[in-house]
Amino acid sequence: MQTSSDIAVKESYTTSGGPNSALDFRGHQVFPELKESEIRSLGRFGEAITFRAGEMLFETGKIARGMFVILTGRVHVYSQDSQERQLASAEYGVGQFIAEMAQLAGKPSLVSGIAITDVSALVVTGDRLRALIVADAELGERIMRALILRRLGLIEQGLGPVLVGFAHEKKLVSLQGFLRHNAYPCTVVDCSTDCDALALLKDVSTTPDDFPLVFCPDGSMLRAPDEGALAAHLGLMPSFDPSFAYDVAIVGAGPAGLAAAVYAATEGLTVVVFDLRAPGGQAGASARIENFLGFPTGISGHSLAARAFQQAIKFGVHLAIPTAVQGVTRTGGQFVLAFGTSQQIKAHTVVVASGASYRRPEVLDLELYEGRGIFYWASPIEARLIRGQSIVLLGGGNSAGQAAVYLARYAKHVRMLIRGDAIEKSMSRYLVERINSLQNVDICCTCSLVSLQGDDGGLTSVTIKKGLEYEEERIETRHLFLFIGADPTTAWLARSGVALDDKGFVPTGRLVNAASEHETDVAGIFAIGDVRYGSVKRVASAVGDGAAVVSEIHSHLLRCQADLSKDLYDAQLAGKQQPSVQPNSNEEIA
């Protein structure tokens, strides 16, 4: 039976301002009511704490103690904007639990909770919550699903920071994309069209260089922050213990890096993952992947990355996003990775999964229009910008084909430019057939980009050469999408001693006489995914690399353990003492 508090909670979280919320019919999954037996099971992982009426259980912008399971009493949960107006509210009662993905990841809360009456609650901290989800599969599945769906509800409602700026401004698009790809809710207010902007800016002194403004959940305001500054202020960056050495440090959170992180963490290894911007890598830019095993109706690259990201959090992986690793060196038997401002961490092994960066055509003023008409990504953010307009898309591979199919749903017309004489030579058959069936997509073969033209608002047109006669044509458009491949991101390996081929890819295995298939010429450093020389540029193969490398990491760690034990034994024998540490067997370590 539904209580009034159940209904209040569901209304708060599932109403997204329209009739098509993904959560409208999933209230029983978003807010399950725990049975007495389940609460007893939870008791093994939590601690009972009491709160007086009017006492705060947790506050927006601060890290909560963990998940709260209500044993007695009622709790009011709410969010508010920068002017302290409540945006959403709900009541939780006996048998319900209060948490979402922030509590599992140990990040600052997006909402506040206050005791309406005296409350007794079972508090399960983030690390104990992860242990519970793994130990009790059935209960863990219900909790995990609820945490994910609640985050989806927050995203639909636009809770979190408010971004105020001009819709087509480069920095606003960048910040919005960064938060979206990291599954962090936000609201965007367009100064040129939204009347709410006047209320937000009423008492704020600004100059053009201050935009976009970011009104944060804790009531503070940031002026034109970059992605790193915003992430740091929102508490998205983990803190590191410089004396602790991880078993595995993974650089890159694409499909390969996330797969390695999940598989390594499930086998008990301590794992940290770094990425410059967001989970997903190049795959995250795919509007729909239809040839990935197990998804017959297809899945977007963003959704696939988000699921892997949630799995990594579930198993306790430390995720440092956005963070650029600047170099890796060996000190003694460990690797040291440098990042940020004089920060570093230690690791016993390093996995290079940094993938590739988007290739840019050699035309003048390209950087001037990036984010102001030129995009390397096709997501709902870009789809809203191009609605009803004519666009140009450069590229003939599968990523370009997926983007064309997706963007054609929103654009008035899509002009695809490819260098070759036939799209069938570089694109999967199913995509070719789909593109050929679209009435608003035209393909221009043997085409190349010559120049860009624009005004103060951004890109206005592009000039191309086409055909064997290299005839020039000027195309009026405000939007150019570039999907022309990528180059390996390996500059950060310069001081590592890792060998690279002439194009910057990382040779592994027999090519460099390494001990295993994915190991580089530096023992303990492995390479997987697109960055590895000779890899198959497919999501499935990247995931396969990530899974396979974990067994190789185990083998390397075993060899290191055996070498360490032998060194200790030899040193003690030389001192005419019996060894106090015996070599571990493979079974004991495994």
Q: Is 80 exceeded by the pLDDT of residue 578?
A: no
Q: What fold does the segment set 366-484 form as a domain? A: FAD/NAD(P)-binding domain (3.50.50)
Residue 510: burial class (beta carbons within 10 Å; 0-12, 13-18, 19+):
exposed
Q: What is the pLDDT of residues 324-378, one digit of tens each?
A: 999 999 988 899 999 987 899 999 999 999 998 888 999 999 989 998 899 988 8
SS3 175: helix
Domain boundaries in the chain?
Answer: 4-157, 162-233, 245-358+488-559, 366-484
Q: Which CATH number is 4-157's, of 2.60.120.10, 1.10.357.140, 1.10.10.10, 3.40.50.450?
A: 2.60.120.10
Q: What are phi and psi of 43, to 5 degrees?
A: -60, -25
User: Are the folds of 162-233 and 245-358+488-559 the same?
Assistant: no
Residues in the chain: 590
Render pLDDT for 226-274 as a digit per residue (tens, 0 to 9): 999 999 999 988 889 989 999 999 999 999 999 999 999 999 999 999 9
Domain 245-358+488-559, CATH among 3.90.950.10, 3.40.1410.10, 3.20.20.140, 3.50.50.60: 3.50.50.60
Q: Cα separation of 111 and 98, whole Å?
A: 10
**Do the beta carbons of residue 479 and residue 385 sit within 8 Å?**
yes
- The yes-or-no verdict on residue 11 having pLDDT over 80 is no
The pLDDT of residue 575 = 54
533 pLDDT above the threshold of 90: yes
pLDDT in tens, 71-108: 999 999 998 766 666 777 889 999 999 999 999 999 99
Strands 441-444 and 413-417, sheet pairing = parallel
SS3 state of residue 35: coil
pLDDT at 420: 92
- Residue 461: pLDDT band by 50, 70, 90 thresholds? very high
Mean pLDDT of all residues in the chain?
88
- Stretch 412-420: mean pLDDT, rounded? 96
Nearest to 114 by CA among 63, 87, 75, 163: 75
Predicted pLDDT of residue 119: 98
Where does the pLDDT of residue 57 fall: very low under 50, low under 70, confident under 90, or very high at 90 and above? very high
Mapping DSSP to helix (H, G, I), strand (E, B) and coil, where does residue 153 land?
Answer: helix
Contacts of 52 (CB under 8 A, 6+ apart): 115, 118
What is the distance between the alpha carbons of residues 337 and 351, in angstroms, rounded to a whole number?
11
Is the confidence at residue 121, as pLDDT, over 90? yes
Q: What is the pLDDT of residues 480-494, one digit of tens each?
A: 999 998 889 999 999
pTM for this model (two decimals): 0.81
Confidence of residue 8 (pLDDT cuts 50, 70, 90): very low
Name the CATH topology of 162-233.
Answer: Glutaredoxin (3.40.30)
β-strand 86-92 against 75-80: which pairing, if any?
A: antiparallel
